[in-house]
Amino acid sequence: MELRDIIDKLKSNGYKVTEQRKAILQVLSSNPNNLISVENLFIKSKEIYNKTNMSTIYRNLEILERLNLVYKLITEDSIALYKLVCSNEHHHHIICKECGKTEIIEFCPINTLNKLAKDKNFNLTSHKLELYGYCVDCQASKDD
Amino acid sequence: MELRDIIDKLKSNGYKVTEQRKAILQVLSSNPNNLISVENLFIKSKEIYNKTNMSTIYRNLEILERLNLVYKLITEDSIALYKLVCSNEHHHHIICKECGKTEIIEFCPINTLNKLAKDKNFNLTSHKLELYGYCVDCQASKDD
DNA sequence: GTTCTTGCAAAGATTTTGCACGGTC
DNA sequence: GACCGTGCAAAATCTTTGCAAGAAC
């Protein structure tokens, strides 16, 4: 999704285009495949627009999440990470534990999962599939 | 895993068997298939041994996690939930969003995942597959 | 008696909120 | 000008920690 499209979607939902919001979106869209922490998003947004405040980051992430424009992931150590959604189609990610880089994986075992849920008499509403590892760059730097 | 086995494992790792610890384990083992929040674990542990303190809950969960005796899950709203591990074999769960009940699912697409990771030049170290839905009991009560 | 555990209270970390001011449309 | 957004500071949550007293072995 392009930065322009995101801003359009915000506008069409009655949200205004502020410098802070632009800074946040610029950071997110400059690295659309990388997960970023709230803290780092704050730091980088400030580099673009110095007056950006932490609570603004949180408020905007909440809006973006509600509009389904960002993807939120909580790591095993309970750190919230965000990235822009890449597409509206259902998909999963492989995530680098070192640098946060993600790639989409073209695989979803949903049919099997539906069957399994049915066997257990569960009404399946959603599922999470995430792969963790080290990307090729971080594998190299780990060898140092 | 039996309560007895857990206590043995604690002992063999140099941990002592205290009333607080027994209360916590009793709560966890009384519902081995249900995820429980720290708050609820605290409340229920106090019912068994009144002097149990919140920090004791946290400290014990940390120990149990380190010994791989409990499984931790963080919900989409960042709430930490715990349950005893059922077995040492790799497996996934289907989780009821209403009551926290879990069941093991006998399926893991690890071979496919390995292949996908390889294609992306990722060194796959772990993965997460969780199914969410409503168990048969909670489906019924939702219709009320 | 030694070592591990706990309670307490305080501190940390992360996230949310109220309100008055300022910006966007 | 109406309404939305922000900064600030304060509060709320959740979790961790230091320390002295107490319990387990």
pLDDT tens for each residue of chain B, 144 residues long: 789 999 999 999 999 999 999 999 999 999 999 999 999 999 999 999 999 999 999 999 999 999 999 999 998 778 999 999 988 789 999 999 889 999 999 999 999 999 999 999 999 999 999 999 999 999 887 655
User: Which chain A residue lies closest to B76 (C-alpha atoms)?
Assistant: A74
**Candidate from A72, A127, A136 with C-beta closest to B130:** A127
B62 and B105 inside one domain: no
A74 and A96 inside one domain: no
Supply angle C-alpha B35, A81, A62, rounded to 5: 90
B76 and B100 inside one domain: no
Contact residues on chain A for B94, CB-CB shorter than 8 A = 116-117, 120, 122, 124
Structural contact between residues B127 and A130, judged by C-beta atoms closer than 8 angstroms: yes
| Nearest C-alpha neighbor of A131 from the set B111, B96, B106, B72 | B111
Minimum-distance nucleotide, CA of A77 to C1':
D15
B79 and B137 inside one domain: no
Query: Domain with B128 in it: what CATH number?
Result: 3.30.1490.190
pTM (predicted TM-score): 0.89
CA of A16, C1' of D4: distance in angstroms? 7
DSSP class of residue B60 equals H
Q: What's the domain count of chain A?
A: 2
Report the DSSP beta bridge partners of residue A8: none
User: Which chain B residue lies closest to A72 (C-alpha atoms)?
Assistant: B76
Query: Domain with B72 in it: what CATH number?
Result: 1.10.10.10
Given the structure tokens 């780990």, which residue do they identify?
A142
Substitution target in A93, A122, A143 with the highest count of B β-carbons within 10 Å is A122
B114 and B59 inside one domain: no
Which of A84, A100, A126 delimits the end of a domain? A84
Residue A143 has pLDDT above 70, yes or no: no
Can you give the pLDDT at residue B142? 66
- SS3 annotation, A6-58: HHHHHHHCCCCCCHHHHHHHHHHHHCCCECEEHHHHHHHHHHHCCCCCHHHHH
Can you give the pLDDT at residue B143? 59
Q: Are A121 and B135 an interchain contact pair (Cβ–Cβ within 8 Å)? A: yes
Structural contact between residues A139 and A99, judged by C-beta atoms closer than 8 angstroms: no
Can you give the pLDDT at residue B141? 76
Contact residues on chain A for B97, CB-CB shorter than 8 A = 125
* Shortest Cα distance, chain B CAs vs residue A121, angstroms: 6
| Nearest C-alpha neighbor of A5 from the set A40, A35, A29, A36 | A29
Q: Are B135 and A122 an interchain contact pair (Cβ–Cβ within 8 Å)? A: yes
CA B35 to CA B72: how far, in whole Å? 9
Which of B44, B68, B84 delimits the end of a domain? B84
Q: Is residue A96 a known part of a binding site?
A: yes
Q: Is the dihedral of CA B74, B75, B78, B79 positive or negative?
A: negative
A74 and A15 inside one domain: yes
B138 and B115 inside one domain: yes
A9 and A71 inside one domain: yes
CA A120 to CA A57: how far, in whole Å? 41
The pair of three-digit structure tokens given for residue B61, joined into one six-digit string: 């969960």
Instruction: Give residue numbers, 23 to 82 of A, with CB < 7 Å from strand D.
Output: 51-53, 55-56, 59-60, 78
Angle in degrees, 0-180, between the axes of helices A3-12 and A19-30, rounded to the nearest 10: 140
A68 and A125 inside one domain: no
Which of B84, B101, B125 delimits the end of a domain? B84
User: Which chain B residue lies closest to A142 (C-alpha atoms)?
Assistant: B123
Taken as a whole, chain B contains a residue count of 144
Domain housing A110: 92-143
Can you give the pLDDT at residue A1? 72
Can you give the pLDDT at residue A75? 83
B10 and B74 inside one domain: yes
B66 and B136 inside one domain: no
B56 and B16 inside one domain: yes
